[in-house]
Amino acid sequence: MVLNSMVFFPYSVADAFWLAPLALALDLRFGDPPLPWPHPVVFLGRLLNRCEVPCRKLLKRLPCPQLFGRLAGLAALFLLVSLSATVVLLLISLPILGPLFALYFAWAGLAMGSLLSTGDIVRERVENAPLVQARRSLSWLVSRETRQMDRQLMRKTLADTMSENFTDALTAPFFWLLVTGPVGLWIYKAVSTTDSMWGYLTPQWRYLGWAGARGDDILAFLPARLSIAAIGLSDFCLAHCAPAKRSWKGRWPGFWQIHKEAWGMPSPNSGCPMAALAWLCKARMAGPSVYFGTLVPKPWLGPPKEEAENWDQQRLGELFHCMRLAAILGMSAMWLLAMLIVFCIV
C-alpha cells in the first residue's frame, strides 16, 4: 500500500521498500553503473564549472564580494538543484521505463562501492608503488597537497578521506532515497557536488562555495549522526556475535564523545564517521591539513596521542573492513526502521 499522504516525490517512503535495498546491493557489488554514458555527477560537475566563469565575472563588477559572492553561489546552486530535480522527475515518471530510470538514479546516487574499490586500488599503490606513483594515485581521492607526503602520511590521509566520505557516499544519499525517492536523492547529490567542488575555506572559494557548504551541512546533518550509529552497530554486532572476527583493536567511546569531537571540525558532518572510525581503529585522524597551498587548522580526532598508534597496512585494512560492514548492517537497519515506521502508520 502506498502512503499517498507521505509521498513527496515518486518512489518515496513506502515505495522504497524494493528500490533502496536493490540499489544498495548493486552499488556494493558493482560500484557505479557500467554504462556507456558518463555518470550523472559528471554532468553536474560540468554544469557547475560553466557557472563559475560568469559568477566570477559578475563579482569583479560588484562591490561587497562577501555578500554578492554568496548570492552568486546560491544562484548557481539553485540552478543545479532545479535542473537535477526536473530531469530525474521527468524520467522516472515515464510509463513503463519509469521504474528502470528510478533504479538507475537510485543506484547511481550511491557511491560506497566505487569509493571502496578505488580506495583498494589507492591503498595497494600507497603500500607498493614508487613514491611518485603512490602520491599521484592518492591525489585521485584527496584535495590535499600530496607531493611531499611519505608513506605514513599517505596512509593517514587515505584513512581520513575514506572515513569523511562515508556520509556523502552512502548514508546521506541512502537516507534521502528512503525519505524522498530518486528526486530527493539527486537534489542532495547536486548540493553535495557543489560542496565538494566549491566548499573550501580558502580565499578563492570562501564566499562562492558558501551556499553549497551550508546546504550540505543541513541536508547531511541527520545522516552524519546515523553514520555514527551505523559504525557503532557494526562494532556492537561483531563484539557480541563474532568477537573473533573483530579485527580492529580500538574501543567505542560512546556516541556523545564522538559527536563532541566531530563538532570541532570545520565540517562536523564529515567529522562524525571520521571520529567513530578513528576510535575503533585506535589511530588519530584529521589535524592540520594543506588544501590548495593553504594550511587549514583542524582538531585531532580519535584516541589521545599517547594511546593512538600509527596508520599501517593492517589498520587500513581494518578501516576498510569496518566501513564495508557498517554499510551493510547500518543501511539495512535504516531501511528496516523506515519500513517499520511507514507500515505502522498504515
Is the distance from CB of 76 to CB of 48 less than 8 angstroms? yes
- Predicted local distance difference test score (pLDDT) of residue 53: 81
pLDDT single digits (tens) 77-133: 999 999 999 999 999 999 899 999 999 999 999 999 999 999 999 999 999 989 989
To 10 degrees, what angle do helices 268-281 and 151-166 make? 120
Q: Is the full-model pTM beyond 0.95?
A: no
Is the distance from CB of 209 to CB of 55 less than 8 angstroms? no
Three-state SS annotation for 289-320: EEECCEEECCCEECCCCCCCCCCCHHHHHHHH
The answer to whether residue 83 is domain-embedded is yes
Mean pLDDT estimate for the chain: 87
The answer to whether residue 66 is domain-embedded is yes
Q: What is the DSSP string of 175-236?
A: HHHHHHHHHHHHHHHHHHHHHHHH--SSTTTTTTTHHHHHHHHHHTHHHHHHHHHHHHHHHH
d(CA 269, CA 167): 8
Task: For residue 335, give its domain range.
Answer: 11-345
- Number of domain units in the chain: 1
d(CA 87, CA 223): 25
pLDDT single digits (tens) 12-39: 777 788 999 999 999 999 998 878 888 8
The answer to whether residue 1 is domain-embedded is no
Q: Is the pLDDT of residue 199 over 70?
A: yes
d(CA 317, CA 281): 10
d(CA 46, CA 84): 13
The answer to whether residue 2 is domain-embedded is no
The answer to whether residue 114 is domain-embedded is yes
Calculate mean pLDDT across residues 178-197.
92
The answer to whether residue 3 is domain-embedded is no
- Predicted local distance difference test score (pLDDT) of residue 4: 45
Is the distance from CB of 285 to CB of 159 less than 8 angstroms? yes
- Predicted local distance difference test score (pLDDT) of residue 2: 41
Question: Is the pLDDT higher at 274 or at 294?
Answer: 274
Burial track 269-306 (b if 16+ CB lie within 10 A, e otherwise): bbbbbbbbbbbbbbbbbbeebeeeeeeeebebbbbeee
Question: Which residue is listed with cell 515515464?
Answer: 94
pLDDT-derived band at 6 (thresholds 50, 70, 90) equals: very low
Q: Is the pLDDT of residue 3 over 60?
A: no
The answer to whether residue 252 is domain-embedded is yes
The answer to whether residue 6 is domain-embedded is no
% of the chain beyond a pLDDT of 90: 50
CB atoms within 10 A of CB 70: 18
Helix (H, G, I), strand (E, B) or coil at 144: strand
pLDDT single digits (tens) 219-271: 999 999 999 999 999 999 988 888 877 888 888 999 999 999 999 888 889 99
Is the distance from CB of 18 to CB of 333 less than 8 angstroms? no
pLDDT-derived band at 9 (thresholds 50, 70, 90) equals: low
Residue 311's alpha-carbon distances to 88, 136, 247, 270, in angstroms, are: 42, 19, 14, 19
- Predicted local distance difference test score (pLDDT) of residue 73: 85
CB atoms within 10 A of CB 320: 17
- Predicted local distance difference test score (pLDDT) of residue 292: 62
- In 3D space, the residue among 128, 85, 110 whose CA is nearest the CA of residue 21 turns out to be 110
pLDDT single digits (tens) 41-67: 999 999 998 888 887 777 777 777 777
- Predicted local distance difference test score (pLDDT) of residue 346: 60
